Amino acid sequence: MAANTTEKRALDAYSEAVSRAAETVGPAVVKIDVLGRPRRGRQGDGTGTGSGVIFASDGRVLTNEHVVRGSHLVRVTLADGRRFQAGVEYADQAVDLAVLRIGAVGLPVAELNARPLRVGQLVIAIGNPYGLNWSVTAGVVSALGRTLEAGPSFRLTDLIQMDAPVNPGNSGGPLVDADGRVVGITSAVMPFARGVGFAIPIATALNALSRLEEMREHQQHRLGIGGIPAEIEPDIRRRTGLTQQQGLLVLEVVPNSPAARASLRVSDVIVEVEDQPITSGEALAAAANQTPGGRLRLSFVREGRLRKTTAVLREGTN
């Protein structure tokens, strides 16, 4: 009888730890749907599904690079059901990590925890395996510092090996500890093996995020806007008469900048500058820098409608 009571208490404590961790991080876990451009001679429609986790309240999502590789349209679904088009802000195949950005603020955020793990430590994986949204599996850290052949020309190193069941669709989702802190990004399952999964340590992700911040500092320009290329959905192109397939999705507007004074907002999609198509931040920066102290005419899509505005540039504006 005493043995049964002890076993029940242990199971209750385990269940409570898994439930608490899942409830803590769950609101920050997202589903990622990807539409890619099918390659010639390849079957299928180029679609795919993965997972991700929101790590910044301004709409940044951490996932695997292989989840969004080759994509031309990425949609992110939040735990509360809201859906957003996303842009790929950063991708590094060498570590299989990518950062997406969606046009939303004040989002639930997961805590990234780079403290060392221990073999045998409880870990919980949350994601969307086989389209079964927000599924939770649990296990332990089986080993640390693993290496996985990820392709003919490169390998992933310093991986976390765990026995928490992971399946297609889990990729990019968070691996969390008993306190719901993200300790890794689920990356792969070993082919033809059962019960063996891998995750990228958060320390690796933090190094990648540092590189992203350095890139962002170099990409600032006088208009006072930040954005990434994004697909213009076919129904919007038909409605507005646009022929280009991509524009620049606005993700940041610096307060009191020319862009802010021109009433541009996060989630607008800039499509033309001075009647010329714009599909990248570099092209927009070049156009702004070629108009010193002048006026920049912009066309953009907001809520499915094509709109126009004029940004008045001033010297010294970042």
Structure tokens that stand for 68 in this block:
């969004």
Structure tokens that stand for 279 in this block:
């599909």
Q: How many CA atoms lie within 13 A of 49 on its CB side?
A: 15
Structure tokens that stand for 228 in this block:
């990434």
- Asked if residue 272 lies in contact with residue 281, where contact means CB atoms within 8 angstroms, the answer is no
- Among candidates 278, 159, 180, 158, which has minimal Cα distance to 223? 278
Q: 238: helix, coil or strand? A: helix
Whether 171 is catalytic: yes
Alpha helices in 51-164, H assignment, sequence order: 65-68
Strand partners, 76: 32, 84
Helices then strands, counting H and E runs in the chain, come out as: 6, 18
Torsion sign across C-alpha atoms 77, 80, 84, 90: negative
Question: CA-to-CA distance for 131 and 127, rounded, in angstroms?
Answer: 9
Q: Which among 51, 142, 171, 187 is annotated as catalytic?
A: 171
Q: Name the DSSP letter for residue 26.
A: G
Q: Which among 51, 66, 71, 187 is annotated as catalytic?
A: 66
Q: Which among 33, 51, 71, 96 is annotated as catalytic?
A: 96
Q: 213 vs 6, 145, 157, 182, CA distance in Å?
A: 50, 26, 23, 20
- Backbone φ/ψ region at 71: left (φ over 0), alpha (ψ -120 to 50), beta: beta
Distance between alpha carbon 249 and the CA centroid of its chain, in Å? 15
Q: 29: helix, coil or strand? A: strand
- Asked if residue 140 lies in contact with residue 21, where contact means CB atoms within 8 angstroms, the answer is no
Structure tokens that stand for 142 in this block:
């089986």
User: Which residues are catalytically annotated?
Assistant: 66, 96, 171
